[in-house]
Every structure is written in structure tokens, then in C-alpha cells.
Structure 1
Amino acid sequence: MKNKTLLIFALLFIVGFLLRIGLSLLSESRIFWDMENYHQIALDILGGKLAAECCQKNNGYGLFLAGIYSLFGPNNLLAVRIVQSLIDNITAVLLYFSARRLVNRKAGIFTYIIYLFNPITFTYTGLRLPESLTIFQLALILMSMSTPAFRRLKTVWILLGFQLGLILFVRMQYFLFILGSTGLLSIFIFRKINRLLFLVLSAAGILLASSYTLVANYKTYNRIAINAPYHSFYLGLYQTFFMNWRYPELTRNYKYINPEYARIVEEYYYTPLPEKYKIEEKSKKLFMARIRQDYAMYTKNVIQNMIWIWDKDHPFYYEDPFYPMDTVPVRIFNFIILVLMAVGILSFVKKYRLKSLQNPIFLLSSCLIIYITVMFSLVSNESRHSISAYGVIVFWAGIGLAQIIWPIHVPQRPGVSNL
């Protein structure tokens, strides 16, 4: 970069950081629901316990909070907000370099600016929730995949596996995504013996990143598992029959929760741990019996979920001080970003056609978007579940905007650095 460009780059970084800090101070400060769970995991770790969450979460974000608490004092929300704001800003830098490597400098600049000033993600820096950390982790993965030596450097394969394992350590809901994307990468990116080597080395990285979870689950629950050992998959599927409404992400709308949906959730959470498997077994029987009769209703609700999970009508979560005034601007911005993402992806596919599948970033991005759209929508329409993908979405949106303004000269082989 030239000195003038670097100065502008740095000034934008500072403005983006201050914007995040300022807006994070307006976010919900109370501790409840998921935030309370993560906070308690952090306190358990600080207290010397080997924390192991039983059912819905892994311990990675709790460990992240524990690290901040240990440095700046327990329950120091301001420190959490500052650290997460800095991480979210660094995400913009990682996306810049990844887009520059894959396409060109202009695409990188657009990606950088869009992410720094998008209203979809930066308010999550003020909450004790793992969204900002997960977006950062995915941006790190894009950086690893954009390296020119990705196909031949075995150390990068281990690093990629470790990074995927860390995402699992933070968000257990990505288990099938990690398995599926790793398998598809081995099939489409590598040839012959390298397919097997990639699977082995990436699996080693995943297991290494999951070592804390493996030890904690074995010592706490006497189970060998890289996820929380008591899952509630069929419970989630059964709940979808009662999800003909939009999940109320703002506390002011909790009164609109379907009573039967609320009853199912409360029954599960208040059931003692040794009995939780009975709730899952009962949910499986109820789901299998009802899907035969009401498959049309279930399909309708899932399709509805697929739309709502990507719809953004408020930038803040739990409490939005500007709601509903911010609904229309945020919706418009989100629609534009999704359209630009589609333009970016389609321009890449138009250039390479089926060879697009030989690009690891394209392959992983496609897997992530499809996974969230399909798998998450089977059990929920909570739009927070798609927030983690917005680093990847902005990555392609920046490429799409560059394609509209300037025709993009893409490297002759997909995935080769343009530096």
C-alpha cells in the first residue's frame, strides 16, 4: 500500500472501532438466557473447574470470556465489548486480504469498507454471545484457504482442521457443517493420496482443537464426545410444528411466543439431567407420528424459517434502543448485501463454471450458506443463527460490488493469489 492509502485504511479502522465501541454500549447489559450460560461457564473455568456444558453449547466462548475476565476482572462487560470490537475490526482486515488474494485489490477494499460499516454484525460486539468470535474464526479460515500454497502445504491442512475444530469448540451447531465441508474439500480440491492425507491431517487438527471438550465430557459425563453429550435434535424438529410465527428476538416481543412452543422448551430445560434423554425420546416419537399427518404444515414452516432466518429487521439483539425506526434501513441494507453476494458468487461461477468447485473458499462459502439455510431452518427461524455467516457474505458482496463497478480480472486458476 502507498502511504496515503495506508493512512486512509488506518483511519477507517479507527472509525470502525470507535463506532463499534459506541454502539456496543447501547446493547443489552443484563445477563440472561444464553448470555447467562456462557457467563457461568467462564466463572466455572476461573474457579478451576473443568467446565462441560451438558446440552446446547460447547465451552469455547466461555473459555474466551474467562480469558478476558482473568485479565480485566470477572464480569467486566466493558472489557468484553472492547475486545470483541477489536476482534470484529480485525475481521474486516482479514476479509480484505482474502478478497485481494482471490480477486484483486479493489474487491478487497470494498469488502473491507462494507464490513467495517455494516449494521448487521457490529452491535453483537456488545453482547456476551459468540457471534463476533465465530465471524472472526471464519475470516481466519478464508485467510488460510486464500494462501497460494493451500493445495500443497500440509501444515496449512492441519491449521485448517484446527480452525474448524475451534469453530466447533465455540458453536457445536456447526458439527455437520464441519464434517461435510471437510469431506467435500477432500473430494473437489485434492487428488489421489492427498485426499486421504487432507482428511487425516484436518481431522487431527479438529481433534486437537477439541481436546478440552473431550477431556471435560469424559470426566464430567463419562462420555467421549466432541460436542455437548445430551443433544435435543428431535426436540427442535418437533418444535417446528409450533413455529408458524417469527421468533421474538427482542424482549419486548416475548409475549408473542407460542404457548405450546414455550411449554416444550421449559419442560426440557427444567427436566433433571439424567432424565433429559427421555424428553428427546418422547420428542422423536411425537415428531415421527405427526410428520406423517402434518408434513405439509411442517414443510411450510421450514420454508418460512428459511426466509426469516436471513431477514434482518433490527441491528441490536434483546434490546434495540432505535426499534422500530431502524427496521426499514437495516432491511434495505441487508437486502442489498445479499444481492451483492449473489452477484459476487455468480460472477465467479460465470468465470470458472464447474471449476469453481475447485476453489476452497467458494466451496466452503457455499456449504456454509446452504447449511444455515437448510439445517438451521429445520429447527428455528431465529435470525441470529445466520449472523455468523455475514463475514463470508460481505466477502462475496465486496467482490460483487467490484464486479458491478469495474470488470474483475480474476487469476487464471481459481484460488491462486493475485498478490
Structure 2
Amino acid sequence: MWAELLPVGRSASSGGYRRFAWNSADAEARAWFREQALKRGLTYELDRNGNQWAWLGDPAAGDAVVTGSHLDSVPDGGAFDGPLGVVSSFAALDELRARGAEFTKPLAIVNFGDEEGARFGVACIGSRLTAGVLSPKAAFELRDADGVRLPDAMEKAGYDPAAIGADTERLGRIGAFVELHVEQGRYLTAEQPVGVASAIWPHGRWRFDFHGEANHAGTTWIEDRRDPMLTFADTVLTARQRAQLAGSLATFGKVAVEPNGTNAIASLIRGWLDSRAADEETLHRVVEEIHAAAVARGEQDGVKVELTRESYTPVVDFDGPLRDRLAARLGGAPVLPTGAGHDAGILASAVPTAMLFVRNPSGVSHSPAEHAELADCLRGVEALADVLEDLACR
């Protein structure tokens, strides 16, 4: 399975992946998921929000155990973030069948759409729509960098955007959701390559708009300039400083410049801030400090600064009894928090949810260098099979 999926959406120049929502690589990955489901005699289903489901047993029976993750990527992302969870889910089902496990509850494997938010700027769109966290109205207003609206992209890919929205009936069928994911850090060890998530740090994305004045780079005196690049650059440095002092995280990883000419002073710079912290109070304080510093520097540079919060996820504490049950079933696996958002975190408000992590020896993620050892991945499959057996077969 891993070898079949590995080439899909891979860039020959960077070695990373460009599986973005509703593009051709996404379609190929979705076709792969459907093929894996049908190959195993599972009932394949596409929900109203474009998420893919593969069912063993009757979904209407309720109290289903669901596992899975996502297949999309960040720009030039790694091979493991998302796909490892989906591949491991099918492999865990194969392992349970090899064990002769007798299922007493329905089991489903899911591929949530647009988890990374690489195209439309909002993470976990598929699960957010399902959980009612993102409204259809707000989703319809999302556009990609080329100005293409989300519903138009869905329609072009052959899906009906008019159907999107909260799916409470589907969520009501789920008794537990367990997502396996490659670790995005270096907590786990070779001796303990599989861990259990305790919580997800609160996190969000904010867009800073720096409005200056376009002008000629070769003829405009320094004192006559209203250059938003200066304000933006100072804000990037301020974000690093304030986050470090607070023990939090703040990253400007995306920027758009207008008119984006080598010999032109910019008129507008948009910079997207990703910020995360162990608690919500710290997160809000850090973002407020960054904004205040940007406004102050903008006044000095003759630049107007506007701030828009594009997405936000509060702290997520995974279901305590389910978390403890998983850790015990895995022989006292380490329990650790994460600063990364996941579909499991979105669903946690609606259904009992847990996560397993598989060791990443380098700690690198969202990069072609992202890696997990084969032996650790196989341990992850075994751990997921043990957990699913405990939840769905007894």
C-alpha cells in the first residue's frame, strides 16, 4: 500500500508532496482509498462534505469504532503526515482479520478532506464541516490563491457543494474515533516508538495586512517611503521574540506581496501567522503583543496594519477514559501533548476521541525530510490493531 501511494502528488523538484484539496493529486489519492476499501469488501461511502468512509458492518447499528486520518499535504510536505494513519488503518484491519478477530461493533476507516488547509487557508475543513465548527456560508466564502472559490473547486472535481454542512446523524453513529499519526517532535524513543496523545495545544491562524504605498525603488527617497516590508520584517522578529519569552510558538510561514516587483516598493503585504501555546491565555496574549507591536511600528513607517483571525481551535483534552484505556492496552505507552492540530481534535467535542503517535526519529515534519522507520510503522500498525480489537471486538 505504501509503495502504491508514495508517488501520488510528489514533486520531482523538491521531493515533497502537493496533494491539495480537490486537485488532480487529491483525486488520485481518493481513488486509491476507494480501491483499498473495495479490495477488502468494505462498503465505500462519500459523505456530504467530501470525506471518504470504508465500513465493515452496518453503520446504522451505532457505537461504531472509527479510525483513519487524511491524505492531503502541506506545500512540499512529507510522506507520513496523514497517509501513515490511513495506510496503518487498512493494515490494522488486515492484521485483525489474520488474527481471526470477531467484530461486535461496526468498524470504519475514514479519509478526511483538506486537513492541512493548504489550498483554502483553513485547516481540517472536512472534519470542521462535519462537526458544524465551520458553517457552509463561511466555507463558500473561502478562496485559494488564484481566487477559486471552494464550492467551485468541489464542483469541478465532481462533488456537490450544495450538500455540505453539519452531519450530526453520522457523528451520532460513532462510539469512538482513534487517529494514528506520525509524531511531530522527538519525544518518543526506539524503546517506546508508540505513544498516546493527552491534548492538543490551542492554536490558530491570523492574517496581518500591512498597507503601504507603491512607489519606484530607484527614485523614491528613503524618508518619502511608506514601505510595508519594514513593518512586516519587524513583526516577524517580534513574533519570534514574544513567543520565545512566553514559551509558546509563533511562525510567519506564508506571505503575499503586491505588486511583487523587484524594482517596486510594495503597496500591500499579507503575512499569515500561525501561533500555538500550552494554554489559551498565553496564546491570546502573545498574538495581542505581536499585533500591538506591529501597529506601533506601522505608525513609525507610515503603514496601516489590519489583523484578521482566519481560524482558531481551543485547547483539546482527549477523552480521559479512552486515552487511559489505550495507554493501558499498549502496556503503559507514554502519554504526550502535541502542538499540531488534527481531525481528531475537531471531532473531540462531538465523540470520544484519541490519538496514537508513531516515532519520528528526526522530529522534522511538514518537510520532505519527514521520516519514520519501517519497524516503528509496523509497531504502530500492531498497536492500532490491538486498540481496535479492544474497542470493537469485545
More strand by share: 2
Class of the TM-score when normalised by the shorter of the 2 chains: under 0.3
Relative to the length of structure 1, the TM-score reads 0.26
TM-score after normalising by structure 2: 0.27
